[in-house]
Amino acid sequence: MAQKLVVGNWKLNGELAANEALLGAIGAVAGVEVAVCVPFPYLAQAAARLRGVAPGAQTVSEFQSGAYTGEVSAEMLADLGCRYVIVGHSERRALFGEDDATVGRKTAAALRAGLAPIVCVGESLAEREAGRALEVVERQLGAVLAIIGARMLARLAVAYEPVWAIGAGRAAGVEEIRRMHAGIRRWLGERDAAAASVRVLYGGSVKADNATALFAAPGVDGGLIGGASLVADDFMSICRAAAVANGA
């Protein structure tokens, strides 16, 4: 079984001096892969400061170079020592107009540069209540597949993040997560046998006090952690919970 992967997503937070303390307090945890996705301006700081923890970014341009003012390419991220990049976070989809096809092109750009994309998928509350959660997630994954092709699916990590659980203070239920992760894994495996072993993370209000239960859920290969990744003790507790769930 692959090691669990725990990824912090700082979102639009950080400041050079405070980052020093936070980055310095985040360390490697045996048996778990840990990554921290910081805002672009702090990537070099994170790469220099982190030990045994991978630096990552929160989005990436679909373009490689040229007249695209304000964009940051996957190659630039790789140049800065980035290993992971989050693509298709629901905040990018909802607030910055990223549609399914854009997420697919960004995923392709990340792969082209040798980065490991963490593709976020997840339904809204209305979609869940309409019984369409899996259909929505499959549509989001399908758009990525259409652009990268089945053989590349195995190079992804997928983060299932129900939109209604992000920043809500209340995670999805273990049974809801188990079902969705099983559905995602089935979908991946049907497209490419190797993709059945892709890590499927859960994200949405993972905290120090619920991480153990969430990571023990069948098919949960780690977590994408927003708010709690800004508090070093909480983030490290979550990473240790993943190690326990891994049997490390």
Question: Catalytic site residues?
Answer: 89, 161
Min dist. Cβ of residue 38 to ligand PEP (A):
13
Q: Which of 79, 77, 89 is nearest to 11 (CA)?
A: 89
CA nearest neighbour of 220 among 246, 194, 240: 246
Nearer to ligand PEP, 19 or 205 (CB): 205
Report the site for ligand PEP in 148-207 (rule: CB under 6 A).
161, 166-167, 203-206
Nearer to ligand PEP by C-beta: 9 or 73? 9
Please give the structure tokens belonging to residue 91.
């905040």
Nearer to ligand PEP, 148 or 206 (CB): 206
Output the smallest distance, CB 68 to ligand PEP, in A: 25
Instruction: Write the binding mask 204 to 233 for ligand PEP: x where contact by CB under 6 A, - elsewhere.
Output: xxx-----------------xxxxx-----
* Least spacing, CB of residue 137 vs ligand PEP, in Å: 15
The residue of the chain with the least Cβ separation from ligand PEP equals 226
Residue 163 burial (10 A CB sphere; 0-12, 13-18, 19+): buried
Contact mark string toward ligand PEP, 112..151, x via CB under 6 A: ----------------------------------------
Q: Is 8 in the site for ligand PEP (CB under 6 A)?
A: no
**Binders of ligand PEP among 11-50, rule CB under 6 A?**
11
The minimum distance between CB 141 and ligand PEP, in angstroms, equals 17
Q: How far is the CB of 121 from ligand PEP (least distance, A)?
A: 12
| CB atoms inside a 10 Å sphere around CB 90 | 21
What's the first-to-final CA gap in the chain, in angstroms?
12
Q: How far apart are CA 120 and CA 90, in angstroms?
A: 7
Q: Which is nearer to ligand PEP, 183 or 223 (CB)?
A: 223
Q: Which positions touch ligand PEP (CB under 6 A)?
A: 9, 11, 161, 166-167, 203-206, 224-228
